[in-house]
Chains A and B, each alone.
Chain A
Amino acid sequence: AQKITQTQPGMFVQEKEAVTLDCTYDTSDQSYGLFWYKQPSSGEMIFLIYQGSYDEQNATEGRYSLNFQKARKSANLVISASQLGDSAMYFCAMREPYSSASKIIFGSGTRLSIRP
């Protein structure tokens, strides 16, 4: 069965520093997708970045990058130059192998707090 593990329940980072949020996954499938979502205190889930298992390059979206290490089954999120508005819960997620349902399973999340 597929599983997503986020081992950091909470992190504190100084503003303007870079931060890495850890995510490891477990799957026996060759084709899968990995996601990161941000959930601020308002509760909405905001899509940040996507990495396909066959993508050779790490995904990047502005200040967000995904450090994809396939052999180690890790998909860490890197936020460069952190800002106060980055304080939120962050969830790593994985899509099941392609099917009509395309379900996504989520990790337990990491609460990131940015200090001014």
Chain B
Amino acid sequence: SQTIHQWPATLVQPVGSPLSLECTVEGTSNPNLYWYRQAAGRGLQLLFYSVGIGQISSEVPQNLSASRPQDRQFILSSKKLLLSDSGFYLCAGRGAGGSGGETQYFGPGTRLLVL
């Protein structure tokens, strides 16, 4: 089965500082990968998804970017954080097919606080 790793678990950053959140996947190859943001007490907003190395699609215009340098690695970045970037960031993966291929599995998330 798939396992999604994310780090760090918690991050406090000053406004204007850069950001790099990493997500890695175990247990599947060529997964679809997704970055979501969740504001406190709210639902999930899809930020980016990737169907393969170097292939990134953005769902909403924002201050963030994503990259996929390896098959099982997905990185969320920002050059200069804004206060509004605070939130809970979740990485998810969907296997290439077979058993459980319909389902997205999530990592443990990163709580980002921008001050």
A and B assemble together: yes
Q: Is the CB of B43 within 8 A of A104?
A: no
CB contact between B108 and one of A35, A43, A91 (< 8 Å): that residue: A43
Q: A64 in the interface, Cβ–Cβ < 8 Å? A: no
The stretch of A13-21, A22-30, A71-79, A106-114 in contact with B is A106-114
A108 to B43, CA, bound (A): 5
A105 to B49, CA, bound (A): 13
Q: Is the CB of A50 within 8 A of B103?
A: yes
What size tier do the contact residues of chain A reach?
Answer: 20 to 34
Q: Report if A101-B109 is in contact (Cβ < 8 Å); known contacts: A35-B103, A52-B102, A109-B43.
A: no
Q: A12 in the interface, Cβ–Cβ < 8 Å? A: no
CB contacts (< 8 Å) of A107 on chain B: these are: 43
Residues of chain A whose beta carbon lies under 8 Å from any beta carbon of chain B: 33, 35, 37, 42-47, 50, 52, 91, 95, 100-109
Q: B7 in the interface, Cβ–Cβ < 8 Å? A: no
CB contact between B32 and one of A42, A47, A102 (< 8 Å): that residue: A102
A25 to B59, CA, bound (A): 20
Residues of chain B whose beta carbon lies under 8 Å from any beta carbon of chain A: 32, 34, 42-44, 46, 49, 51, 57, 59, 88, 90, 92, 94, 102-109, 111
When C-beta atoms are compared, the residue in chain B nearest to A89 turns out to be: B41
CB contacts (< 8 Å) of A102 on chain B: these are: 32, 94
- Please list 26 pairs of residues, one from A and one from B, whose beta carbons are closer than 8 Å in the complex, sorted by A's number: A33-B102, A35-B103, A37-B106, A42-B108, A43-B90, A43-B111, A44-B106, A44-B108, A44-B109, A45-B109, A50-B102, A50-B103, A52-B102, A91-B43, A91-B44, A95-B102, A102-B32, A103-B49, A103-B59, A104-B34, A104-B104, A105-B46, A106-B43, A106-B44, A107-B43, A109-B42
CB contacts (< 8 Å) of B51 on chain A: these are: 100-101
A50 to B104, CA, bound (A): 11
When C-beta atoms are compared, the residue in chain B nearest to A42 turns out to be: B108
* Nearest CB on B from A68, distance (A): 15
Q: Is the CB of B57 within 8 A of A43?
A: no
Q: Is the CB of A47 within 8 A of B105?
A: yes
A64 to B44, CA, bound (A): 22
CB contact between B103 and one of A47, A101, A103 (< 8 Å): that residue: A47
